[in-house]
């Protein structure tokens, strides 16, 4: 049973560029959440997708957008990259929109913006 | 004010020691509470859920005090393998399961 997978594992971009990160949830899960973890900080909630719609959003600018596909996989897009966007981007999957079950995290994508 | 506040440490303890971590949360409507463990350059993994009645899992004991909005984690008989960052986590309200993380407390267990 595959867990949460993310691609790519590492990415280097320059300021102003755009990036797309991908996530496949754990088998049986239908909800995907994205988090940003800066160095030395805890993960911060970006947004959550369920039934192909953004259901909740954290305090992130519109440069951060996403999508969920019918197979429950998800993408995170960041436009006009800033140096401060350098971080580990984590995807977490769970079952149900308000489920109390455990959220499982993927290994993350480490984004470096130069 | 941050949703979840934790002492970032680091905590350096000898093997066999008992160590306690604490955190506070700001939203009194918070519904669910957890401790996650994160190893260096790895993803967070659920260590245990936290209940008002307190719960224990082997050497680990977690406690929630809703009146004080305070969560604790006690690790007894520390092992080298316990070295990691421990993240205090809450969910904000009923019907939402997005997670609010503290900054994490780094623990190093020394031989």
How distant, in Å, are the alpha carbons of A11, A48, B13, B61, B80 from that of A90? 14, 12, 30, 27, 26
Q: Which of A89-93, A105-109, B64-68, B94-98 has the lowest mean pLDDT?
A: B94-98
pLDDT reported for residue B92? 79
Compute the distance between CA of residue A93 and CA of residue A104 in angstroms, rounded to an integer: 5
Q: How many CB pairs under 8 A join A and B?
A: 52
Examine the pLDDT at B82 and tell me if it is beyond 90: yes
Q: Rounded mean pLDDT of A80-96?
A: 95
Using the structure block, give the residue that is written with the tokens 């031989």.
B111
Chain B residues interacting with chain A (CB cutoff of 8 angstroms): 4, 6, 8, 32, 42-46, 87, 94-104
pLDDT tens profile A9-66: 999 999 999 999 999 999 999 999 999 999 999 999 999 999 999 999 999 999 999 9
Mapped onto helix, strand or coil, the DSSP state of residue B59 is coil
Which of B8, B44, B99 has its CB closest to that of A45?
A: B99
């Amino acid at each position: 049973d595959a867990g949460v997978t993310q691609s790519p594992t590492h990415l280097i971009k320059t300021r102003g560029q755009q990036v797309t990160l991908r996530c496949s949830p754990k088998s049986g899960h239908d909800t995907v959440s994205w988090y940003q973890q800066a160095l030395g900080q805890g993960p911060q909630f970006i947004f959550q997708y369920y039934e192909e719609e953004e259901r909740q959003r954290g305090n992130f600018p519109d440069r951060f957008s996403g999508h969920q596909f019918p197979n429950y996989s998800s993408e995170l897009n960041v436009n006009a990259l800033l140096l401060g966007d350098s971080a580990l981007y984590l995807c977490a999957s769970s079952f149900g929109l308000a489920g109390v079950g455990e959220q499982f995290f993927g290994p993350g994508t480490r984004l470096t913006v130069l | 004010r941050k949703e979840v506040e934790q002492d970032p440490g680091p905590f350096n303890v000898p093997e066999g020691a008992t160590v306690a971590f604490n955190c506070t949360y700001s939203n009194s409507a918070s519904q669910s509470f957890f401790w996650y463990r994160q190893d260096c350059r790895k993803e967070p993994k659920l260590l245990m859920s936290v209940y008002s009645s307190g719960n224990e899992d082997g050497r680990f004991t977690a406690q929630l005090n809703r009146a004080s909005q305070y969560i604790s984690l006690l690790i007894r008989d520390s092992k080298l393998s316990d070295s990691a960052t421990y993240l205090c986590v809450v969910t904000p309200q009923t019907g939402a399961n997005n997670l609010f993380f503290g900054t994490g407390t780094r623990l190093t267990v020394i031989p």
